[in-house]
């Protein structure tokens, strides 16, 4: 059977019902609250407050460390599966703190869509914009939720204009807010001609939903005060004239975002958004890979690692690789090929993440996220197949923006430190460079907080107190090119050369001027700020 719209074979129903997405937002916009409501309406938790610590406290460092120690929580929150109506949602969590953005970027390679949460009073904030740009690189469909409408918020047109201008994407209203701030009473559901009224008394109650027969339905006046009704009419008329209508194909291609207005904390607008994810989601998409793309409906199983979490149980040094299934129907116990090493791998104890628990996954379909416990064989970017030599592409590794030297508190423990650093490098928690000249290592991260987290983890997991010191370098670039040119370059710049944990050559410097000079003097070499994980 052919799906007329996409001109592709229709997916098996089990795959077609899957929606794998992430939430992107600026800290404080309400991502955690929205996640919790998703889980509540998906039946994965019984009451709000089960999943998280309280807002601000959760983001402080001490609390983060606590969370890191309590690996169970942070890991099970990395991917959450739950059913909603006929759909299976796989929500992949992105770390909220901007210091962990690299992890976030990689997570976005494992999803088919993103929900962008913005604060109705603040509009598009810096972190949202950054994350949006990453989604744009992959033309990821974006659904927008404008949160905190129960509070004083910006004018609806102003919010929509800001998104259109700052993010260069068409915005189409899926709902329209009625009243503002304290006068906010709910939304008109444009897509389904319904009036949704918010209940301020009970935060966990789903809004009262009244079916309306178009905007002239007298029922509207029974529920909406006259002045707000008049305003609604005016605004919707203007919206119709000025804003594009919903075009599902444009949403799928990432050119248009539908926007829902609501209040996560009041459970308002959340179900409408969930229905939207179901309708425009989209279903699991084709995965880019070499030498050919992978389609979800292929009967052979394939998947790729987008995140590794090490030492989940410090006693056992185990690791869990998070795998996004790209095709087929996986069953527990299957033997898959680990393409990078060409070795077979029996996947006998894969786990599925359900809100705050994890359980053995007996099966998984394209679109699902499973965790595979392993002893370090699986790395970010690895592909698993039933034998074919495919390699999923597009999983980036970024040049670190902060570099520091690292030393073991006890010089006799240098070898241990090397082992610990290599593990973290493979996990993707930091970049580790071994300079050609001199001893020791240089560690590179994207955000300063990562140094502290690393120091604390090395101490906790390896019993090694370490010190980070300033490094003479501030930038790192991977260098590639044919061997003769590369050797010539390395010989002439030994003080600036290091190797990463894969053995790839890295150029370290503190001046942009140096980088420009290398680009000018060595046209046959390629300097890059990102490296694809292999």
Q: Are 256 and 171 in contact (CB under 8 A)?
A: yes
Is position 33 an interface residue for ligand G4P (rule: CB under 6 A)? yes
**Position 181 contacts ligand G4P (CB under 6 A):** no
- Nearer Cβ to ligand G4P, position 92 or 320? 92
Tell me if 147 is assigned to a ligand binding site. Answer: yes
Closer residue to ligand G4P, CB minimum distance, 31 or 457: 31
- Helix (H, G, I), strand (E, B), or coil: what is residue 158? helix
Q: Is 374 in the site for ligand G4P (CB under 6 A)?
A: no
- Nearest residue to ligand G4P, scored by beta-carbon proximity: 55
Cis (ω within 30 of 0) for the bond into 388? no
271 is in an annotated binding site: no
Residue with token string 């030994």: 494
State yes or no: 30 annotated in a binding site: yes
**Which residues make Cβ contacts (< 8 Å) with residue 495, sequence separation at least 6?**
436, 437
Task: Find the shortest distance in angstroms from Cβ 147 to ligand G4P.
Answer: 5
Site for ligand G4P contains 122 (CB under 6 A):
no
| Residue 179 binds ligand G4P (CB under 6 A) | no
3-state SS track over 453-506: HHHHHHHHHHCCCEEEEECCCCEEEEEECCHHHHHHHHHHCHHHEEECCCCCEE
Tokens of 292: 């050919």
Residue 148 in marked binding region: yes
What are phi and psi for residue 231, nearest 5 degrees?
-65, -40
Shortest Å distance, C-beta 403 to ligand G4P: 29
Pairing of strands 142-147, 113-119: parallel
Quick one: which of 389, 390, 385, 392 has its CA closest to 299? 385
Q: Which is nearer to ligand G4P, 176 or 468 (CB)?
A: 176
Least Cβ distance, residue 161 to ligand G4P (angstroms)? 22
Question: Reduced to 3 states, what is the DSSP secondary structure of residue 397?
Answer: strand
467 near ligand G4P, judged by CB under 6 A: no
Q: Is 94 in the site for ligand G4P (CB under 6 A)?
A: no
The answer to whether 96 is annotated as binding is yes
Minimum CB separation of residue 456 from ligand G4P in Å reads 22
The C-alpha atoms of residue 529 and residue 480 are separated, in whole angstroms, by 12
Query: For 315, phi and psi rounded to 5 degrees?
Result: -70, -30
> 300: annotated binding-site residue?
no
416 assigned binding-site residue: no
Q: What is the dihedral of CA 60, 66, 67, 69, to 10 degrees?
A: 150
Distance CA 449, CA 100 (A): 9
Question: Cα angle at 374 between 368 and 376, to 5 degrees?
Answer: 115
> Hey, what are 33's tokens?
């609250």
Question: If binding is defined by CB under 6 A, does position 501 make contact with ligand G4P?
Answer: no
Nearer to ligand G4P, 136 or 203 (CB): 203
- Our CB check for ligand G4P shows the closer of 31 and 106 to be 31
In angstroms, the Cα distances linking 417 to 195, 200, 495 are: 61, 54, 23
Tokens of 189: 């559901």
Contact range with ligand G4P by CB under 6 A, out of 48-56, 238-246, 276-284, 482-490: 48-56
Nearest CB to ligand G4P, comparing residues 29 and 232: 29
Q: Check binding of 127 to ligand G4P (CB under 6 A).
A: no
Does the annotation flag 447 for ligand binding? no
Q: Is 150 labelled a binding residue?
A: yes
Segment holding 519, helix H or strand E: helix 512-521
Q: Reduced to 3 states, what is the DSSP secondary structure of residue 198?
A: coil
Q: Do residues 533 and 498 lie in contact, with contact meaning Cβ atoms separated by under 8 Å?
A: no
Q: Which is nearer to ligand G4P, 151 or 407 (CB)?
A: 151
Q: Which of 16, 30, 301, 531 binds ligand G4P (CB under 6 A)?
A: 30
Rounded-to-integer distance, Cα 277 and Cα 142, Å = 10
Q: What track of x and - describes contact with ligand G4P for positions 51 through 80 (by CB under 6 A)?
A: ---xxx------------------------
Window 253-272: contact mask with ligand G4P (x via CB under 6 A): ----------xxxx------
Closest CB to ligand G4P among residues 147, 374: 147
Q: Which is nearer to ligand G4P, 266 or 374 (CB)?
A: 266
Among 99, 102, 103, 150, binds ligand G4P (CB under 6 A): 150
The footprint of ligand G4P (CB under 6 A) covers 25, 27-33, 54-56, 96, 147-148, 150-151, 263-266
Q: Which residues line the annotated binding site for GTP?
A: 25-32, 93-97, 147-150
């Amino acid at each position: 059977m052919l799906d007329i719209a996409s001109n592709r074979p229709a997916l098996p129903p089990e795959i077609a019902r899957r929606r794998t997405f992430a939430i992107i937002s600026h800290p404080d916009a309400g991502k955690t609250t929205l996640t919790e409501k998703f889980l509540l309406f998906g039946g994965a938790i019984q009451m709000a407050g089960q999943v998280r610590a309280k807002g601000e406290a959760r983001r402080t460092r001490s609390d983060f460390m606590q969370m890191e120690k309590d690996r169970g929580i942070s890991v099970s929150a990395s991917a959450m599966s739950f059913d909603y109506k006929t759909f299976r949602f796989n929500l992949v969590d992105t770390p909220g703190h901007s210091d962990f953005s690299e992890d976030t970027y990689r997570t976005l390679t494992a999803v088919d869509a993103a929900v962008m949460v913005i604060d109705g009073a603040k509009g598009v904030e810096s972190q949202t914009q950054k994350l949006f740009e990453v989604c744009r690189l992959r033309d990821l469909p974006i659904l927008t939720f404008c949160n905190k409408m129960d509070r004083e918020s910006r004018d609806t047109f102003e919010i929509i204009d800001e998104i259109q201008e700052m993010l260069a994407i068409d915005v189409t209203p899926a709902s329209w807010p009625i009243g503002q701030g304290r006068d906010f009473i709910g939304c008109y559901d444009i897509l389904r001609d319904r009036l949704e009224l918010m209940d301020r008394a009970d935060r966990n109650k789903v809004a009262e939903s009244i079916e309306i027969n178009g905007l002239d339905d007298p029922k509207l006046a029974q529920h909406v005060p006259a002045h707000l009704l008049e305003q609604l009419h005016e605004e919707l008329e203007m919206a119709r004239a000025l804003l594009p209508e919903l075009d599902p194909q444009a949403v799928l291609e990432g050119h248009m975002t539908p926007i829902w207005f609501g209040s996560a904390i009041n459970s308002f607008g959340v179900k409408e958004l969930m229905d939207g994810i179901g309708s425009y989601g989209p279903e699991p998409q084709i995965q880019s890979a070499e030498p050919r793309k992978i389609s979800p409906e292929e009967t052979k199983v394939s998947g790729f690692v987008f995140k590794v979490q090490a030492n989940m149980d410090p006693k056992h040094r185990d690791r869990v690789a998070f795998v996004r299934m790209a095709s087929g129907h996986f069953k527990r116990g299957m033997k898959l090929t680990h393409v990078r090493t060409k070795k077979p791998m029996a996947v006998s104890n894969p786990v599925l993440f359900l809100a705050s628990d994890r359980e053995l996954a007996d099966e998984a379909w394209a679109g699902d996220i499973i965790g595979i416990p392993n002893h370090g064989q699986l790395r970010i970017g690895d592909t698993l197949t039933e034998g074919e030599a495919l390699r999923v592409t597009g999983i980036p590794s970024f040049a670190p923006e902060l570099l520091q030297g690292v030393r073991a508190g006890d010089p006799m423990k240098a070898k241990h430190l090397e082992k610990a650093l290599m593990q973290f490098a493979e996990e993707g928690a930091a970049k580790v460079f071994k300079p050609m000249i001199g001893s020791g290592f240089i560690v590179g991260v994207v955000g300063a907080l990562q140094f502290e987290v690393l120091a604390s983890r090395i101490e906790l997991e390896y019993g090694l107190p370490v010190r980070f010191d300033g490094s003479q370098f501030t930038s790192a670039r991977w260098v590639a090119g044919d061997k003769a040119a590369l050797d010539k370059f390395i010989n002439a710049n030994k003080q600036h050369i290091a190797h990463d944990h894969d053995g790839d050559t890295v150029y370290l410097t503190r001046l942009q001027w140096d980088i420009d000079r290398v680009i000018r003097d060595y046209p046959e070499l390629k300097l890059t700020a990102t490296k694809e994980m292999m």
